[in-house]
Structure 1
Amino acid sequence: MIAGTSPGRVPRRRGPAQPRGRRLRNREAAITECYGDAMTAVPEWMRPPRPEGWFADDLDHLPEAPRHTELIDGALVFMMSPRRIWHAILIDELRGALRAQAPAGIEVVREITIRLDDKNRPEPDVLVTEQPRDLRRTFFTPDQVLLVIEVVSPESAHRDRTVKLRKYAESGIANYWIVEEEDDGAPVVHTYELDGPTRSYVPTGIHRGKLRIPVPFAIELDLDGLLPGRTS
């Protein structure tokens, strides 16, 4: 009897280790056998470049990826439905209003990713930073971001309210806003501030009509005025 085995059990013999390339080919063959043409129809660029999945830096080397591609927990996330004009106009107007009030040295940027860690690189709708303008930049890091804003759409609601809420807090971003749409089309802003010891967000207000808040700088917004031509 071989040490470490039970009486009557025959120890399993392991064959020689397969080269990595052969293991990957066997894995792809097994996936194809299981899922058939559904897997073979996937474009080559959408296949993870390694068994561990995608890394944050991979987003800089995917020219075929659609705009606004994000990385969440090592998986590519695409915008699956077209954005409504409400969403696009609100982002533009919100950014413009914040830029008009921002002190010198503060930049308000839209739709640039934040590299939270090796497996997470989300793209917020708007962010506020003290970093000097660099036209070659493709991402920020959490320590460079003062405020993140997500304008909720039906497709992004779960990520914005739960997944990103947790991940932005865990990465140490001090302020987070979630902008929702009321039944009449008016924007309502939920504001959060980071509790440092717990690395979680604390709600600081639900703002309708007007928003006045002192961080990351003194901000006063006429929320109804951001979409003056809205209809219910």
Structure 2
Amino acid sequence: MAVQISHYGGLMPGEPLPDWVIPPHEGFTVEDFLRMRGLPRHTELIDGSLIFGSPPEKWHRQVLSLLRRELDLQAPPHLRAEREMAVRLGKRQMPEPDVLIVTAEAFEREQPSTYYFAEDLVLAVEVVSPDSEERDRETKPLKYAKAGIPHYWRIERADSDAVVYVYELDPATDRYLPTGIFHERLKTGVPFPIDIDLTAIGKRG
């Protein structure tokens, strides 16, 4: 007899419990993850475990919209901005950065259509939510750095304002080094000249 549940992610009452609810002893691989169906939106695979995020708040989505729009407008022709796309980092690692800068070649590539490779990325950005603090501050930066992604930004909320913490990869240690903390305006020269008015979050473009 199939196990029945009242509610789980996107499942309807009375549906059988999916296979991904109980992971194998060694954890899931990326291949397992890509075959799964019925996962809640924006599920991530980290260290072989499925990570389910809570529904994003309005502020979180407004930050994503501003960053994706401005980064794509300001990026040189060989780079493009994306949002909320999975990145294949390793055998058991497939996180989903909130915003990404990828090569134009990768952006236009037809397959794979649901994820990028680590080498496609120039920048990974995470907007911190209450349930993602440890992942965005500790776990993910280590994974992104180990995979060789050159730049990482972490964005935190201070009241209704955004604070952007900017990091650059040190190739000698494969660790990120902090290069700046930005309030109100994000202005940096890497990975390309960027100037973003952070007070414009939630305003019409």
- TM-score scaled to structure 2, two decimals? 0.85
**Equivalent pairs: percent with the same residue?**
41
Partner SS state of residue 163, structure 2: strand
Matched, 1:167 2:135: no
The equivalent residue for 2:30 is 56
CA contact (8 A) 2:99 2:126 kept: yes
Task: State the one-letter code of the partner of 2:73.
Answer: A
Which residue of the other structure, out of 216, 225, 232, is the alignment partner of 2:191?
216
Which structure has the highest strand share of the two? Answer: 2
Q: Distance in 2 between matches of 1:52 and 1:202?
A: 32
Q: Distance in 2 between matches of 1:189 and 1:211?
A: 7
How far 1:45 moved relative to its partner?
A: 3.3
Which residue of the other structure, out of 83, 87, 90, is the alignment partner of 1:114?
87
Q: Distance in 1 between matches of 2:117 and 2:70?
A: 24
Larger radius of gyration: 1
Q: Distance in 2 between matches of 1:194 and 1:175?
A: 6
CA contact (8 A) 2:27 2:47 kept: no
The equivalent residue for 1:44 is 19
| Higher RCO, Cα 8 Å, sep 6+ | 2
Partner SS state of residue 95, structure 2: coil
Deviations 1:84-132 (A, max 9, x none): 1000111011100111111112111111111110011100000001142
Partner SS state of residue 177, structure 2: strand
Which residue of the other structure, out of 173, 178, 182, is the alignment partner of 2:154?
178
Matched, 1:142 2:115: no
- Range 53-62 or range 214-223, more displaced: 53-62
Partner SS state of residue 93, structure 2: coil
CA contact (8 A) 2:87 2:95 kept: yes
Matched, 1:197 2:172: yes
How far 1:83 moved relative to its partner?
A: 1.2
Partner SS state of residue 154, structure 1: coil
The equivalent residue for 1:70 is 44
Matched, 1:126 2:99: yes
Task: State the one-letter code of the partner of 2:120.
Answer: Q
Matched, 1:89 2:62: yes
Structure 1 runs of 4+ aligned residues shifted over 3 Å read none
How many residues are matched?
A: 186
CA contact (8 A) 1:45 1:64 kept: no
CA contact (8 A) 2:46 2:95 kept: yes
Unpaired segments ≥5 residues, structure 2: 1-15
Partner SS state of residue 20, structure 2: helix
- TM-score scaled to structure 1, two decimals? 0.76
Partner SS state of residue 100, structure 1: helix
The equivalent residue for 1:104 is 77
How far 1:57 moved relative to its partner?
A: 2.1
